[in-house]
Amino acid sequence: MIDSRPMAFAAGGTYGQQENGLISAVDPVTHDVKVKVMPGGVETGWLPFAAVQVGDLCISCPPNVGTQVHLLPVCGDPEHSVVAAPVFCTVMPPPVSPATGKVAQPGEYLLMAGCGAPPVDEKSRERGEVAQAAPWMHVTRDTLYSGVGGDTTATIKDGQHQWKAGGVTATLSASGFEVTGGNITTDKDVKAGSISFIGHVHSNGNKGEDTGAPVG
């Protein structure tokens, strides 16, 4: 009886295997990419970049040149690979949340812009400049945080919605709306129930007539 296992093993070695590489070019219209396969630096042709979601709801996020990725051969053919699974590394580590001061934990979702582009030169370990005030969103088990930079934020949790801009804080909760650290300004009226701040009248001391205009 012939042992077919060595032949199967040898045949398996001829199939395309998963490889790692660095994005070398990005088509800004189709989001197709080229990849320099590592080690060696051989550049592929244009390949599809795997999306997070395609359909009625789409999520579009093309990679930067220099992003480290995996190449998955279709039916074992490396010339027809799909570029998938960008990976964090020592040069491009996970971002730190402005809300918690930590990277996203299991069960959380952190989206941040302006983290600095990966180095274009595969020998470099210096990423691009980090934006000082870029938008971000962090979803935890009990709170939704968002903001631009660290001084303009919005925080939503059960029973409370809070906004901060510099030293001004506005909080909406079951007990009402509160603003601290700044003034409230409007070009319209302010009403308490049906009583107008601008057009209200007093019934005491003036026989029910309108009060005079403010003097200061």
Q: pLDDT (tens digit, 9 = 90+) per residue, 141-182?
A: 999 999 999 899 999 999 999 999 999 999 999 999 999 999
Q: Give the whole-angstrom CA distance, residue 74 versus residue 103.
A: 34
Q: Are 30 and 70 in contact (CB under 8 A)?
A: no
E strands present in 77-194: 77-84, 109-112, 135-139, 143-148, 152-157, 160-165, 168-173, 176-180, 191-192
DSSP states along 22-42: EEEEE-TTT--EEEEEETTTE
What is the residue-averaged pLDDT of the chain?
87
43: β partners: 36
Identify the weakest region by mean pLDDT among 8-12, 32-36, 67-71. Answer: 8-12
- Residue 10's pLDDT band (boundaries 50, 70, 90)? very low
Confidence check: pLDDT of 1 > 70: no
Count other Cβ atoms within 10 Å, centred on residue 196: 12
Confidence check: pLDDT of 94 > 90: yes
CA distances from 154 to 63, 142, 168, 169, 207 (A): 28, 14, 12, 10, 48
Structural domains present in the chain: 1-87 (2.40.50.230), 92-216 (no CATH)
Among 162, 131, 128, 133, smallest CA distance to 145 is for: 162
- Count the residues in the chain: 216
More confident residue, 122 or 189: 189
160: β partners: 157, 173
Look up residue 59 and give its DSSP letter.
B
- Residue 204's pLDDT band (boundaries 50, 70, 90)? low
- Entry pTM: 0.79
